[in-house]
Chains A and B, each alone.
Chain A
Amino acid sequence: MTTNLLLPIVLLPLLGFLINGLAGNRTGKGFVSLVACGLPILAFIIAINATMQLMATGGPLVQTVFTWAQFADRPFEIAFYFDRLTAVMTLIVTGVGSLIHVYSTGYMHDDKSYARYFAYLNLFLFFMLMLVLGRSLLVLFVGWEGVGLASYLLIGFWFEDPEKAAAGKKAFITNRVGDAGFLIGMFLLYRALGTLQMDQINAAFLAGPVAVSASLVGVFLFIGATGKSAQIPLHVWLPDAMAGPTPVSALIHAATMVTAGVYLVARLHGIFLHAPEASALVATIGVATAFFAATIAVVQTDIKKVLAYSTISQLGFMFLAAGVGAYGVAVFHLYTHAFFKACLFLGAGSVIHAMSGEQDIRKMGGLAKKIPITFVTFAIATAAIAGLPPLAGFFSKDEILWFAFASERGGAPWLFVVAASTALMTAFYMFRLLWLTFFGTPRMDEKTAHHIHESPWSMAGVLVVLAVLSTVGGFFSVPHFLEGQLPLPAIRPEFHHFEKPLIVLSVVIALLGLAGAAWFYSRNGARATQARTRMEPLHRLLSGKYYIDELYEALIGRPIRWISDRVFLRIGDRLLLDGTLNGMASVARGAAGQLARVQTGNLHFYAFLVLAGLVALLLWSWGHV
């Protein structure tokens, strides 16, 4: 049924962007904070309203805003679509988004570009909401590109530092590579179906065979998803994106933007249900990325980089779930991940704030007593991500492992084994992070130690809220909520009795990880250092992130730069273009120089030319008269 609640949800953050962007520098910080936080909170309230309307009426809410273009009988409309999946996504985006805005008022308090930061953050929310609320792939793509833009602006927020600016550029360009795949997928869909509206696409695929191969489309769309959600091979931008302010990392690179790829796959489940090859690809890449990122996270020493690789790993889990047909479970993990990862990132921000900007965990330690609220919330979120019951992460991760093992649509034991090992590593490195940061003897210098203080309530309060959500969030069963729309796949009959044992196994894995971290890193990490010296080459490989960045640079970066320099600059631009222009100019100059030789200054010559001309004329007319 039609509604007019959806447009305000999208437009309120845009309004915030315009106000803060245009007038923010002239008004005080209070006004900027009020506008920047108030408008998303208002959007959240309207979203709750829309959800209640949705539950009351049962059918999806649609709002067509205007027709962008019309080709014969096929219009391209800007329309918003609100069903249960959208409800979950919108509430997460506006809810967690508002919390992070409030946190930012504390974190960015001393920054000189306060207004610009909030303007960009609101801009991001606008595009993200457009992405999740869009009815057609076109609107989604506008949002998709827009969040990429906002991400670039925010990663490179402190653009005076060239490294940070380069990180922003890397994110944007890597995203664009994925977008090429996305666009091709869109073109194929449009050519086959004549529409880009996602509900109609799903209906078409579910109704019967379609003119285009579902797997082909699925693969291309997934390429777009790998770019946005940092899966192999386009994951390289996410660790570099930690150059941005920490709340940005929490909002964009943990809770919302990077989940857009998962949302895309879940939304277009109609295609993936009929594309077993594409789904297998999704699951394989998902689990491979999860494993691979977890191995790197084990040796990282920057608190934010650990969390970045953890995010890549958890996104891999979400794609694993989507790949085996359990779309609702993927969204469930997205939902719980938003809570505990945002809590972790914001907690890291709190730690960095307390440590006066230090991010290296080798220089931390013993912070538990000094910043208790941060410690407790961080610990709760760590337990959640490790999968300890009854926290949120346990429920979602367990479901993923179960469906990876037993789903009839692609589940296999090997997927389970890899995923379980990744879960073990996740628990291990997260507890390692907790240990090194908060326990043990302090390893920082005197001056920093002196300045350690708990964060203000704008920051600590948000941490508490998110920790509570990480605890109780799992009890709201999102897969059940989405059952009508995204049915769970059937379980292979022979595996039915594995369900309970696997739950126990998940808990055991989590506890093993905790114990392992405790064993290695207690007594100031003596055993960890020993293990490292024994496995030095492996450690180097992992610290170097498997040297993928260097590989890309050698295979892609250097050849492109070489071609740009040799072919396009030297030959194309200088030789051809400049040469042609300069050549034409020198031809003109040469011709003029030659013609000027007529002017000898000698009157005899001029008179002779007069006579010669006259003679020529007369002879010609005599011949033709």
Chain B
Amino acid sequence: MKLSASQWLLLSPELFLTTAGLVILAISVFFDKAKEEFLAFLTILATAVTIGLVLLVSGQHGHENPILGGMFVVDNFAIFFKLLMLVSIVLTALASVRFVGSAPYPGGEYYALLLFTGVGMLFMVSGNNLVSIYVALELMALSSYILAGYFKGEIKSTEAALKYFVLGAFSSGILLYGLSLVYGMAGQMGLPELATLLAGAEKSNLLSVGILLILAGLLFKIAAVPFHVWVPDVYEGAPTPVTAFFSVGPKLAAYAILARIFYVAFPRFHADWSLIVAVVSAATMVVGNVAALLQSNVKRMLAYSSIAHAGYALLGVIGFRTEFGLWGILVYLLAYTFMNFGVFALVVFLETKGYAAESISDFNGLARRNMTAAVVMLVFLLSLAGIPPTAGFIGKYYLFSAAMKAGYAWLAVLAVLMSAVSIFYYFRIAAAMFFSEGEGAPMRSSYALTTAVMICAVATVMIGIVPQPIVEVLRACVIKTP
């Protein structure tokens, strides 16, 4: 298969990021003295160049035409996700500088794995074929498992990695089983070809079971009930900057392929799978929010919070056939990336060796010690709760509208009620920061971490105050088919 120069350009972000990861790995192997700060700088620089390449690709005429035999597509939908994922990698690298520098493990591995995870995510969102999507997903997942166990001398970190690996392998097996059943029944792997073929085909049990298993595999990746149990353990055990990354990066990729597969390939089965997704969404919102109420460990609370947010985002999947469905998911994920990463980045502020800020009491009296940090944290918490005028409110507005328009008013009402429940646990942190007299964990700030937090804060506020231009840009990123 011969590629033209313009087709090579479409692949350039992935190729460049892969090369950058290998170079960083080589530098850390051959130059023992390479400072972790320098490797972090290289990672951020490489990711920034990749962002530039993605923007260059987006301006190229005909960039939305599939290449590599139809397996790889760079439409506006993929470009949106690529940019958001690359920003999440930059934020993670910024949040990791002090933490990796103080850890007794090589930083080169850490940053290279971060970039390799990014490569997997970039290929995933451009996947237009079940096989290319699966291979990219595995590249992302394998790098993520190792990142979770980066603190290899600490039992919590290694156990988190083991759990993530075993349960992740389970979900990959389920997904692969589903893919093979669909291929066995349809004889096609390309998503547009599957859509054409299945549009006129009779429904069969095996095909339906295949779609069900694909859905189950993807629900694991986005941490929806009943496949959510790994999240609190992995988020608690993994180093906090890695947790921050897990809460946004791989989730973005999973939502992207969930949307692409079910929106492009299986629209004919929408009535069948949307009912299952509605039940899962309701259970995910209830379990996530109620379990978060019971937590005293901040990372576990935020883990359950992110489970609840997975339930909200599924409202957009249910409303795929409405105007707000896929559009709402894009708006919500944009807001979610910044507000959720911001919260985790502020948890990193309050820790010393990766695990210190574990309890809500660590936030005691933060407003007395650093009013700016406390106010910024409050903004993130308000946004996560969906209170206007923050980004979270805008995202939820679009998702709840999608559920209403799809005829799931009861689900939208449940989502509003669960958002009200979430205010209780988010405000436990706020109360500790502003009203508690106790002594909290010491703050260990750095310029890099402060930059990451400020980027998230500005984005969260801007999306909330002036949503219209941003939302209109995202409308153009919705997949054009079917």
Our verdict on whether A and B bind, yes or no, reads no
Seen from chain B, the residues whose Cβ lies within 8 Å of a Cβ on chain A are none
